[in-house]
Chain A
Amino acid sequence: MAGLKIYKWIEHRLGFVPTLKAAAEHPTPSNNASWWYVFGSAATVLLILQVVTGILLALVYSPSANEAWTSLNYLNHNIALGWYIRALHGWGSDFMIAIVLIHLVQVFLFGSFKYPRELTWMVGVGLLLLTLGMAFTGQVMRFDQDAYWGLGIGASICSRVPFVGAKLVHLLLGGPIIGGATLSRFFTLHVFVIPGLLLAGVAVHVLMVLQHGVSDWPMPGRLVRRSTYEREYHELAQKTGLPFVPDAAWKDAIFAAAIILAVMACAFFFGPFGPSGQPDPTIIQTAPKPDFAFLWIYAVLAFLPPALETPVLLVAPVLAIAGMLLLPLLAGEGERHWARRPVAVLSVSVIAVTIGICTRLGTYTPWSPVMDAWSGDAVPVKYMHDRTPLEREGAMVLQDKQCRNCHSLDGIGGMRGPALDAVAARMTEDQIVRQVLQGGGNMPAYGNALNPAETKALVSFLMTLRGKDLEPAVDASRELLLEHRMGEAAETGSSTAITTAPQNGSNAVKAGDQK
């Protein structure tokens, strides 16, 4: 009784409990009390988890370039349960990105962004960008080698902006170099600016969901029209409506609990992320890599042709964001069901597969040279059997000149260039010599790094690599030329055949001189 009295006393002064109650119990069409509608609330719960764990980490973390890395190690090893809070925050961030993306895809495929929820979608796009912003700034908070060089990558991307590139770099870094000022401003973004915008944006997003109601389950053929949709939705909600709490919300609650439990389990079993090596730029024995959510961008940057890189880097994100923002304005009416929107399904599939493949590639970076393959990986014994001393010397050259950093033998070594196991079945001796000395096709020229003896030995070793005893490559044009000359010789007698050969030779020399 006393409890009720206190509640009434407080409520009389607060005055908004009935409003909240009405909002919670608003009728929602029974067809959307579905397990497909739980991702938005799960993302909000994860955001709360991130805020709570973030505040706990801020109790110990020192946002100074001098101390950040040490304070993270202190959290991991010296503070009771510090490692677990870090792990929760790190895994929570990965889960949050995943859930936000799933939420986005669900809303897109269900056509829920259409009238009258266009602005809800646009705010949602903003929330996605803010979530990714939290992920990138959070990676900087883990002030280790990857964070340092990741900032370098960010600065390098900014520097490609025409005219104001240098100013942008200085704004991003807070000065001419990556240092204390850089960490401070990323800390400000990560802890004050972006979370503030994120929480405000979530509030607007949720208020708009209450304003327009949770979208009804899409049915093929039931089209969205500006003139009728709201009346139809209202009738549906009146006729089949269930109170959101508890009839629909119990699924949200169970899913949120499952997600939090999954974050806790990952945090417990896999532990916190890093920090990796200390952020000392004079330690260059490192292969920096972004966090999981950005691996696909890292892969895209490896495959773009140099001339396209700046335009793509600067234009593609603008187009992508503009496209997402304009989507509900361009397709605000009509069919909602995925079965009748093949372009939407195809777009999601293509984008998902592309990002998935790029992420997968980003995990093992086949484009990167393996920096220690030349000294660390052996030449397979089978490639040394029955080889002449010259060929064995060539194998030595292959190792010594670091060819293995980019070329693999028997599956071991770099993957930047083609595997060499069957190189002699693809290329003739002349072609190999030319390729080694002049490079080309993304291979540097080794003319300055190899002397003639080394080249001879290397090529004679490479010529023994023919896979499972494939035929050596032949230059088909040679045979034709030979046939042609034989024919000519037969026609006009042998004397002309002899004179044409030197002529060809001198032409070739001339052409070489002109270059």
Chain B
Amino acid sequence: MSELLKYPGESKNDTLSPEGKAAAHTRRVFLFKLAVGLNALVGAVLAVPLVGYLLGPAAKKRSNIGAWVNLGSLGDFPVGQTRLADFRSPMAVFDDGETGKTSCWVRRISEQAVQVFAINCAHLGCPVRWFAESKLFLCPCHGGAYYEDGSRASGPPERGLFEYRTRILGDSLMIYAGNLPTLSTRASCTEKPLIQIEPASEVQTASANTAEPATRSTTWQG
């Protein structure tokens, strides 16, 4: 066997003596290397499903996350007021218990104009509270403050409140909810218009006969 390995470059152990080369190429050494290689291969194949399982939660496409949720009748949200609404996350599964519930702030601007804000502060996700008298959302954690339209007023947040996409279907208010709202998993579309009003075609179904002139609360009305 050893004369087969005489040619330089054929093996890395050219510096070894012929006996050494022979010892490094016995059947046992070959079988051991084969066994190690086989295990590496099996391990690699096994790792695919294991890692896939581990990374599963991150694999979902963002567009797949979320669904339209009914927040209830529009009548529950008087024009000019901002009220708390609870809903069960459409993403909640069997063992989420009460953590599957979520709150949001609904601001009824006019008959057909609604803003729905995530409860989570844009800074670090603590629950913001609405103060109707000073027209501010305040965060208890680090004092982030937002104006009634959700825009940033002061404190550590870099941006305004996260806003859900809304839709008015007949008498009911729908929002599109999915992810826990954070800076990279926002509740709404990427850019944040001041007031979201769905195109007229989508709100045609709303009862037209009750339409009043939009009474946006003026600064004096409190």
Q: Are A371 and B140 in contact (CB under 8 A)?
A: yes
What chain B residues lie within 8 Å of A448 (beta carbons)?
Answer: 135, 147-148, 219
A206–B58 CA distance with the chains assembled, in angstroms? 38
Known contacts being A282-B101, A307-B158, is A177 close to B180, with CB within 8 Å? yes
- Which chain A residues in 264-278 approach chain B with CB under 8 Å? 278
Q: Are A66 and B95 in contact (CB under 8 A)?
A: yes
A-B contact count (CB 8 A): 216
Q: Are A177 and B182 in contact (CB under 8 A)?
A: no
Nearest A-chain residue to B120, judged by Cβ: A152
Q: Are A282 and B103 in contact (CB under 8 A)?
A: yes
A486–B119 CA distance with the chains assembled, in angstroms? 58
Check: B65 CB closer than 8 A to any chain A CB. Answer: yes
What chain B residues lie within 8 Å of A161 (beta carbons)?
Answer: 184
Q: Are B179 and A149 in contact (CB under 8 A)?
A: no
Q: Are B102 and A282 in contact (CB under 8 A)?
A: yes
One of A214-222, A314-322, A437-445, A473-481 contacting the partner: A437-445
Q: How far is the CB of A309 from chain B (nearest CB, A)?
A: 7
- Which chain B residues in 49-100 approach chain A with CB under 8 Å? 55, 57-58, 60, 62, 65-66, 84, 86, 89, 91-100
What chain A residues lie within 8 Å of B155 (beta carbons)?
Answer: 442
Q: How far is the CB of A280 from chain B (nearest CB, A)?
A: 4
Q: Are B95 and A444 in contact (CB under 8 A)?
A: no
Q: Are B133 and A401 in contact (CB under 8 A)?
A: yes
Q: Are A371 and B180 in contact (CB under 8 A)?
A: no
Check: B36 CB closer than 8 A to any chain A CB. Answer: no
A176–B99 CA distance with the chains assembled, in angstroms? 12
Q: How far is the CB of B116 from chain A (nearest CB, A)?
A: 15
Q: How far is the CB of A38 from chain B (nearest CB, A)?
A: 39
A173–B97 CA distance with the chains assembled, in angstroms? 15
Contact of A178 among B57, B84, B99, B129 (CB under 8 A): B99
Q: How far is the CB of B97 from chain A (nearest CB, A)?
A: 3
Check: A166 CB closer than 8 A to any chain B CB. Answer: yes
Nearest B-chain residue to A66, judged by Cβ: B97
Known contacts being A177-B91, A449-B133, is A302 close to B182, with CB within 8 Å? no
What chain A residues lie within 8 Å of B141 (beta carbons)?
Answer: 149, 153, 287-288, 298, 302, 368
- Which chain B residues in 186-203 approach chain A with CB under 8 Å? none
Chain B: interface residue count, which band? 35 or more
Check: B25 CB closer than 8 A to any chain A CB. Answer: no
What chain B residues lie within 8 Å of A310 (beta carbons)?
Answer: 158
Check: A465 CB closer than 8 A to any chain B CB. Answer: no
Check: B145 CB closer than 8 A to any chain A CB. Answer: yes
Q: How far is the CB of A25 from chain B (nearest CB, A)?
A: 40
Known contacts being A180-B95, A279-B99, A281-B119, is A149 close to B127, with CB within 8 Å? yes
Q: Are A402 and B57 in contact (CB under 8 A)?
A: no
Check: A64 CB closer than 8 A to any chain B CB. Answer: yes
Contact of B99 among A148, A157, A369 (CB under 8 A): A148
What chain A residues lie within 8 Å of B57 (beta carbons)?
Answer: 170-171, 173-175, 181
Closest 5 CB pairs of A and B: A165-B184, A180-B95, A152-B125, A66-B97, A159-B182
Known A65-B98, A170-B60; further 20 A-B contacts with Cβ < 8 A: A149-B125, A161-B184, A166-B185, A173-B57, A175-B57, A175-B91, A177-B89, A179-B99, A180-B96, A282-B103, A284-B119, A301-B124, A368-B142, A371-B129, A374-B133, A401-B133, A405-B138, A442-B154, A448-B135, A451-B220
26 contacts between A and B (CB under 8 A): A66-B96, A66-B98, A149-B125, A152-B120, A152-B124, A156-B182, A157-B124, A160-B184, A169-B179, A171-B57, A176-B60, A176-B66, A176-B91, A178-B99, A281-B98, A284-B128, A285-B129, A287-B140, A302-B143, A368-B143, A402-B131, A444-B147, A444-B153, A445-B153, A449-B136, A449-B219
Task: List residues of chain A with CB under 8 Å of any chain B CB.
Answer: 64-67, 148-149, 152-153, 155-161, 165-171, 173-182, 278-282, 284-288, 298, 301-302, 304, 306-307, 309-310, 367-369, 371, 374, 400-403, 405-406, 416, 439, 442-451
Task: List residues of chain B with CB under 8 Å of any chain A CB.
Answer: 55, 57-58, 60, 62, 65-66, 84, 86, 89, 91-103, 119-120, 123-129, 131, 133-136, 138, 140-143, 145, 147-148, 153-158, 178-180, 182-185, 219-220
